[in-house]
């Protein structure tokens, strides 16, 4: 139990005069990359906000961002949190190791902030100063999260393989992509 919070630091790649930039080289860890960066190479301070939102959901759940896949619920952690939020049972996301020794209000604020940070459209994500205000209960949040980026379910291939002609076994038994 040695938690480590890393500096995502993608936003440091542009100057203070720029509000966003574009790169030809995509660097980072899938699952934490904002959709605009992963798909188009466009990054901004909102790219780091996305990453922080995923981290918040990991802290609450005790799960990695890509470890939520199950046959009965093919979603990543962000998608799973979104489903629980919509169903009104977001406390089911909490790491069972906490044994109900947590503040429900704090968990709800963390998940709410995490889902706001993980919104698909960068303009809809809060600033980091707003995230801090949400987490420290300094502002009342009336904005409800929208469907997050990467919400779509994970697809697992059937027993078919596509590399048989060249002698390659490409059967994917448990894909997290």
Handedness of CA 12, 15, 21, 23 (dihedral sign): negative
What pLDDT digit, counting tens, does each position of 107-136 carry? 999 999 999 999 999 999 999 999 999 999
Most confident of 11-15, 26-30, 135-139: 135-139
Residue 125's domain is classified under what CATH number?
1.10.510.10
Q: How confident is the model at residue 155 (pLDDT cuts 50, 70, 90)?
A: very low
Residue 177 lies inside a defined structural domain of this protein:
no
Domain holding 101, by residue range, is: 10-166
Residue 112 lies inside a defined structural domain of this protein:
yes
Based on the structure, what is the number of domains in the chain? Answer: 1
What pLDDT digit, counting tens, does each position of 19-77 carry? 555 555 666 677 777 888 777 777 788 888 999 999 999 999 998 887 655 566 557 88
Pick the residue with more confidence: 97 or 139?
97
Residue 1 lies inside a defined structural domain of this protein:
no
Residue 41 lies inside a defined structural domain of this protein:
yes
Coil, strand or helix at 42: strand
The neighbour count for residue 70, using CB atoms within 10 Å, is 11
Phi-psi region of 2 (alpha: psi -120 to 50; beta: other; left: phi over 0): beta
Helix axes 104-117, 77-87, angle to 10 degrees: 120
């Amino acid at each position: 139990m040695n938690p480590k919070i890393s500096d995502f630091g993608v936003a440091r790649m542009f100057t203070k005069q720029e509000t966003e930039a574009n790169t030809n080289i995509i660097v980072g860890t899938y699952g934490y990359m904002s959709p605009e960066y992963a798909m188009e190479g466009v990054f901004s301070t909102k790219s780091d906000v996305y990453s922080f939102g995923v981290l918040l959901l990991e802290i609450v759940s005790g799960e990695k961002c890509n470890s939520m896949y199950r046959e009965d619920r093919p979603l990543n952690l962000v998608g799973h949190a979104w489903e629980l939020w919509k169903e009104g049972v977001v406390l089911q996301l909490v790491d069972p190791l906490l044994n109900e020794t947590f503040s429900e209000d704090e968990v709800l604020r963390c998940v709410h902030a995490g889902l706001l940070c993980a919104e698909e459209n960068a303009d809809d994500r809060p600033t980091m100063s707003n995230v801090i205000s949400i987490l420290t209960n300094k502002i009342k949040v009336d904005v409800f999260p929208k469907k997050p980026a990467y919400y779509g379910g994970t697809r697992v291939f059937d027993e078919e393989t596509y590399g048989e002609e060249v002698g390659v076994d490409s059967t994917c038994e448990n894909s997290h992509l």
